[in-house]
Amino acid sequence: MSRISSLHDAVAELVVDGDTVALEGFTHLIPHAAGHEIIRQGRRDLHLVRMTPDMVYDQLIGAGCATKLTFSWGGNPGVGSLQRFRDAVENQWPHPLEIEEHSHAGMATRYAAGAANLPFGILRGYVGTGLPEHTSTITQIECPFTGESLTAVPALRPDVSIVHAQRADREGNVQMWGLTGVQKEAVLAAKRSIVTVEEIVDHLEPVPYSVVLPWWVVTAVCEVPNGAHPSFAMGYSVRDNAFYKAWDAVSKDRESFTAWIEQHVLGTTTYEEFRRSAGVEVPASV
Amino acid sequence: MSRISSLHDAVAELVVDGDTVALEGFTHLIPHAAGHEIIRQGRRDLHLVRMTPDMVYDQLIGAGCATKLTFSWGGNPGVGSLQRFRDAVENQWPHPLEIEEHSHAGMATRYAAGAANLPFGILRGYVGTGLPEHTSTITQIECPFTGESLTAVPALRPDVSIVHAQRADREGNVQMWGLTGVQKEAVLAAKRSIVTVEEIVDHLEPVPYSVVLPWWVVTAVCEVPNGAHPSFAMGYSVRDNAFYKAWDAVSKDRESFTAWIEQHVLGTTTYEEFRRSAGVEVPASV
Amino acid sequence: MSDVAPITEDYTTDELMIVNAARQLGALAAAGRPVCFVGIGLPSTAANLARRLYSPAPVLVYESGCIGSKPTRLPLSIGDGELGETADAVVSVPEIFAYWLQAGRIDVGFLGGAQLDKYANINSTVIGDYEHPSTRLPGAGGAPEIAASAGAVMVIMRQSKRAFVERCDFRSSVGYGDGPGDRQRFGLQGGGPKWVITDLGVLEPDPVTCELTMVALHPGVSREHAVAATGWSLQFAGEVSTTTPPTAGELDALRVLQAA
Amino acid sequence: MSDVAPITEDYTTDELMIVNAARQLGALAAAGRPVCFVGIGLPSTAANLARRLYSPAPVLVYESGCIGSKPTRLPLSIGDGELGETADAVVSVPEIFAYWLQAGRIDVGFLGGAQLDKYANINSTVIGDYEHPSTRLPGAGGAPEIAASAGAVMVIMRQSKRAFVERCDFRSSVGYGDGPGDRQRFGLQGGGPKWVITDLGVLEPDPVTCELTMVALHPGVSREHAVAATGWSLQFAGEVSTTTPPTAGELDALRVLQAA
The 10s digit of each residue's pLDDT in B193-250 is 999 999 999 999 988 888 999 999 999 999 999 999 999 999 999 889 899 999 999 9
Cis peptide before D43, with omega less than 30 degrees from 0? no
- The verdict on whether D239 is a catalytic residue reads no
Kindly state whether A217 is in contact with chain B, defined as any CB-CB distance less than 8 angstroms: no
Mean pLDDT of A37-59: 98
Is the distance from CB of C118 to CB of C232 less than 8 angstroms?
A: yes
pLDDT band at D6 (very low <50, low <70, confident <90, very high): very low
Is the distance from CB of C136 to CB of C128 less than 8 angstroms?
A: no
Cis peptide before B94, with omega less than 30 degrees from 0? yes
Question: Burial of B11 by CB count in 10 Å (0-12 exposed, 13-18 middle, 19+ buried)?
Answer: buried
Indicate the DSSP class of residue C189.
-
CA–CA min distance A122, chain C (Å): 10
Kindly state whether A122 is in contact with chain B, defined as any CB-CB distance less than 8 angstroms: yes
CA–CA min distance B24, chain D (Å): 12
The C-alpha atoms of residue D231 and residue D179 are separated, in whole angstroms, by 17
**Residue A215 to residues A173, A188, D33, Cα–Cα distance (Å):** 4, 12, 11
Lowest mean per-residue pLDDT among A167-176, B182-191, C238-247, D25-34: D25-34
Helices (H), A72-201: 83-91, 104-115, 131-134, 183-189
Q: Locate CATH 3.40.1080.10 in chain B.
A: 3-102+157-278
Does pLDDT of D82 surpass 80?
no
Residue-wise pLDDT for B22-68, tens only, equals 999 988 999 999 999 999 999 999 999 999 999 999 999 999 999 99
Model pTM above 0.95 = yes
Mean pLDDT of A162-177: 97
| B204, closest residue in chain C (CA to CA) | C88
SS3 C99: helix
Does the beta-carbon distance from B145 to A154 stay under 8 Å? Answer: yes
| Stretches in chain C below the pLDDT threshold 50 | 1-7
Does the beta-carbon distance from C98 to B115 stay under 8 Å? Answer: yes
CA–CA min distance B99, chain A (Å): 19
Does the beta-carbon distance from D103 to A216 stay under 8 Å? Answer: no
D partners (3+ CB pairs within 8 A) are A, B
Phi, psi values for residue A8, rounded to 5°: -55, -50
Catalogue all structural domains in chain D, each as residue range(s) with its CATH number. 13-254 (3.40.1080.10)
Q: How many CB atoms lie within 10 A of CB D104?
A: 14
Interior/surface letters D11-41, b for 16+ CB within 10 angstroms, e for the rest: beebbbbbbbbbbbbbebbeeebbbbbbbbb
Mean pLDDT of A11-29: 96
The C-alpha atoms of residue B85 and residue A167 are separated, in whole angstroms, by 49
Does the beta-carbon distance from A89 to C136 stay under 8 Å? Answer: yes
Does pLDDT of D7 surpass 50?
no
Chain D residues near residue B233 by CB distance under 8 angstroms: none
The C-alpha atoms of residue B62 and residue C230 are separated, in whole angstroms, by 70
Amino acid at B199: E
CA–CA min distance D175, chain B (Å): 9
Do the bridges between strand C201-205 and strand C212-217 make them parallel or antiparallel, or are there none, so unpaired?
antiparallel
Mean pLDDT of A88-113: 97
- Predicted local confidence at residue C3, as pLDDT: 40
Does pLDDT of A138 surpass 90?
yes
Best B123, B124, B126, B143 residue to mutate vs chain A (most A CBs within 10 Å): B143
Residue-wise pLDDT for D197-246, tens only, equals 999 999 999 999 999 999 999 999 999 999 999 999 999 999 999 999 99
Does the beta-carbon distance from A148 to B117 stay under 8 Å? Answer: no
CA–CA min distance B185, chain A (Å): 16
pLDDT band at D85 (very low <50, low <70, confident <90, very high): confident
Amino acid at A101: E
Amino acid at C176: Y
Comparing CA positions, the residue from A137, C146, A124, D146 lying closest to residue B155 is A124
Mean pLDDT of B70-76: 96
Bridge partner list, B268: none
The C-alpha atoms of residue C151 and residue C146 are separated, in whole angstroms, by 9
Residue-wise pLDDT for B75-134, tens only, equals 998 888 999 999 999 999 999 999 999 999 999 999 999 999 999 999 999 999 999 999
Is the distance from CB of D184 to CB of D144 less than 8 angstroms?
A: no
Handedness of CA A150, A151, A157, A158 (dihedral sign): negative
ipTM for the predicted complex: 0.96
The C-alpha atoms of residue D54 and residue D33 are separated, in whole angstroms, by 10
Bridge partner list, B154: B120
Is the distance from CB of A244 to CB of A76 less than 8 angstroms?
A: yes
Question: Burial of B133 by CB count in 10 Å (0-12 exposed, 13-18 middle, 19+ buried)?
Answer: exposed
Bridge partner list, D255: none
The C-alpha atoms of residue B65 and residue B15 are separated, in whole angstroms, by 12
Is the distance from CB of A248 to CB of A23 less than 8 angstroms?
A: no
Amino acid at C46: A
- What DSSP letter does each residue of C62-77 carry, written as one string? ETTTEES---SS--SS
Does the beta-carbon distance from B216 to C33 stay under 8 Å? Answer: yes
Residues 105-164 of A with CB under 8 A from D: 115-118
- What DSSP letter does each residue of chain B carry, written as one string? --SB--HHHHHHHH--TT-EEEE--BSBS--HHHHHHHHHTT--SEEEEESS--HHHHHHHHTT-EEEEEES--SBTTTB--HHHHHHHHH--SS--EEEE--HHHHHHHHHHHHTT-SEEEES--TTSSHHHH-TT-EEEE-TTT--EEEEEEPP--SEEEEEEEEEETT--EEEES--TTHHHHHHHSSEEEEEEEEEES-----TTEEEE-GGG-SEEEE-TTTTTTSB-TTTB---HHHHHHHHHHHHSHHHHHHHIIIIIIT-SSHHHHHHHHT--PPBP-
* Portion of chain D with pLDDT greater than 70, in percent: 94
Indicate the DSSP class of residue C58.
P
Kindly state whether A235 is in contact with chain B, defined as any CB-CB distance less than 8 angstroms: no
Is the distance from CB of B140 to CB of B118 less than 8 angstroms?
A: no
Does the beta-carbon distance from C59 to B117 stay under 8 Å? Answer: no
Kindly state whether B79 is in contact with chain D, defined as any CB-CB distance less than 8 angstroms: no
A partners (3+ CB pairs within 8 A) are B, C, D
Is the distance from CB of A213 to CB of A240 less than 8 angstroms?
A: no
Is the distance from CB of A215 to CB of A250 less than 8 angstroms?
A: no
Chain B residues near residue A108 by CB distance under 8 angstroms: none
Residue-wise pLDDT for C232-255, tens only, equals 999 999 999 999 999 999 999 999
Does pLDDT of D260 surpass 90?
no
CA–CA min distance B265, chain C (Å): 37
The C-alpha atoms of residue B188 and residue B116 are separated, in whole angstroms, by 8
Does pLDDT of A1 surpass 60?
no
Chain B residues near residue A140 by CB distance under 8 angstroms: 144
CB-nearest to A179 from C84, C145, C173 is C84
Kindly state whether B123 is in contact with chain A, defined as any CB-CB distance less than 8 angstroms: yes
Which residue is catalytic, options C63, C145, C211, C250? C63
Which residue is catalytic, options D15, D63, D145, D211? D63
Kindly state whether B212 is in contact with chain A, defined as any CB-CB distance less than 8 angstroms: no
| B157, closest residue in chain C (CA to CA) | C103
**Residue A86 to residues A57, A100, B274, D2, Cα–Cα distance (Å):** 12, 15, 70, 76
Is the distance from CB of A182 to CB of C93 less than 8 angstroms?
A: yes
Residues 250-269 of B with CB under 8 A from C: none
Is the distance from CB of B231 to CB of D76 less than 8 angstroms?
A: no
Domain topology for A3-102+157-278:
Glutaconate Coenzyme A-transferase (3.40.1080)
pLDDT band at D1 (very low <50, low <70, confident <90, very high): very low
| B125, closest residue in chain D (CA to CA) | D145
- Predicted local confidence at residue D79, as pLDDT: 59
Is the distance from CB of C150 to CB of C109 less than 8 angstroms?
A: yes
Q: Which helix (H) or strand (E) holds C134?
A: strand C133-136
**Residue C191 to residues C109, C154, C182, C260, Cα–Cα distance (Å):** 10, 11, 12, 35
- Predicted local confidence at residue C187, as pLDDT: 96
Does the beta-carbon distance from D135 to B111 stay under 8 Å? Answer: no
Chain B residues near residue C102 by CB distance under 8 angstroms: 116-118
Does pLDDT of B144 surpass 70?
yes
Phi, psi values for residue C257, rounded to 5°: -60, -45
- A110 Cβ neighbours under 8 A, 6+ residues apart: A102, A121, A153, A154, A155, A156
The C-alpha atoms of residue B33 and residue D22 are separated, in whole angstroms, by 40
- Predicted local confidence at residue D9, as pLDDT: 65
Mean pLDDT of B166-183: 96
Sequence-ordered strand ranges (E) for D4-125 = 35-38, 59-62, 66-67, 89-90, 108-111, 115-117, 122-123
- Predicted local confidence at residue C79, as pLDDT: 60
- Predicted local confidence at residue D8, as pLDDT: 53
Kindly state whether A149 is in contact with chain B, defined as any CB-CB distance less than 8 angstroms: no
Best A100, A102, A120, A151 residue to mutate vs chain B (most B CBs within 10 Å): A120
- Predicted local confidence at residue C130, as pLDDT: 97
Amino acid at B43: R
- Spatial strand order of the sheet with A149-154 comes to A120-123, A149-154, A139-142
Residue ranges of chain D whose CB lies within 8 Å of a chain A CB = 33, 35, 59, 67-68, 88-89, 98-99, 102-105, 189
**Residue D136 to residues B61, B73, B83, B84, C189, Cα–Cα distance (Å):** 15, 11, 10, 11, 43
The C-alpha atoms of residue B180 and residue D91 are separated, in whole angstroms, by 8
Bridge partner list, D140: none
